[in-house]
A = this chain, B = another copy of it.
Amino acid sequence: ETSAKVIDGKSIAKQIRDEITVEISRMKDTVGVVPGLAVILVGDRKDSATYVRNKKKACESVGINSYEVNLPEDSTEQEVLKHISGFNDDPTVHGILVQLPLPSHMNEQNILNSVCIEKDVDGFHPLNIGRLAMRGREPLFVSCTPKGCIELLHRYGVEIKGRRAVVIGRSNIVGTPAALLLQREDATVSVVHSRTKNPEEITRQADIIIAAVGQANMVRGNWIKPGAVVIDVGINAVEDAKSAKGYRLVGDVCYEEACKIASAITPVPGGVGPMTIAMLLSNTLSSAKRIHNFK
């Protein structure tokens, strides 16, 4: 008796990547420019290496040039900054991405701040967050995951203006920009976090829920107003003896319960995840267009 429409992030992301592919070849044909994305990876965390590999593959699939720098774990902050500065000056690079987390001996703020704002395709620069928060200002880039969430709402025709939205989580890269984006589109937004006393009561008032917490299955069916739209950003590994790997991925929302109450919901995996990479490609394309003034 599943009633919710499943918001198919994988297929929407595919559609967006196809649109990007077309735009990139149009750009190449018209002005001879190919967008380029530079990725800096420090250390040898397995998960980070996988993310970087997926991003490179995604770039190739749409025709974006990708440049990768792999630095050893014990590199100095200076070395990372040197590479960023090189990419800042490199006209074939339109987006620069520093894979997080960085080794603990490095100052993440210094490094992220050194990416020039015109190439900050991750949208993490405080100037971009500030512009996102302000009326009448436009950020150059919006962080990929929250942008992907809103894009899903748009492509599924979910009205945002005048609706109540609850964002659970307030991180710099997901929760906070998601809340600012929803407010820009005239939702009435409440932000729930770890100090919130009655999260279920507040969440139950929402027409739109974005959950970005990192707690497996935290949002239960009775947190959800019947008919609400649920975007589940969480990716959590839970033990699963039946799986070959010994675990499986679940979201921050208890899907089995929520899909009976919500009107639409993103699955995990296959919901927000694929959209994040699609938005990275989209930001890189926009950046190249802006730098070359190509419409």
Contact = CB atoms under 8 A, between A and B. Distances in A.
Interface string A126-166: 11111111111100000000000000000000000110100
Contacts of A98: none
A191 B126 CA distance: 21
Contact of A128 (B130, B172, B180): B130
Contact of A197 (B136, B162, B190, B192): B162
Nearest to A166: B190
A195 B130 contact: no
Interface residues on A, range: 20 to 34
Contacts of A127: 126-127, 130
Please tell me how many copies of the chain the complex holds: 2
Interface stretch (A24-32, A58-66, A181-189): A181-189
Interface string A163-175: 0100000111000
Contacts of A135: 170-172, 176
A127 B125 CA distance: 9
A202 interface: yes
B188 A192 contact: yes
A63 to B, nearest CB: 32
A109 interface: yes
B183 A188 contact: no
A185 to B, nearest CB: 9
A164 B166 CA distance: 13
A196 B190 CA distance: 12
Contacts of A53: none
Contact of A188 (B126, B171, B172, B193): B193
Contacts of A131: 126, 130
A6 B161 CA distance: 37
Contacts of A134: 126, 129, 172, 176
A137 B126 contact: yes
A115 to B, nearest CB: 14
A196 B163 CA distance: 8
A191 B189 contact: yes
Contacts of A191: 183, 188-190
Nearest to A172: B134
Contacts of A189: 190-191
The 10 closest A-B pairs by CB, nearest first: A130-B130, A126-B130, A129-B130, A190-B190, A186-B195, A188-B196, A134-B172, A126-B131, A162-B195, A127-B127
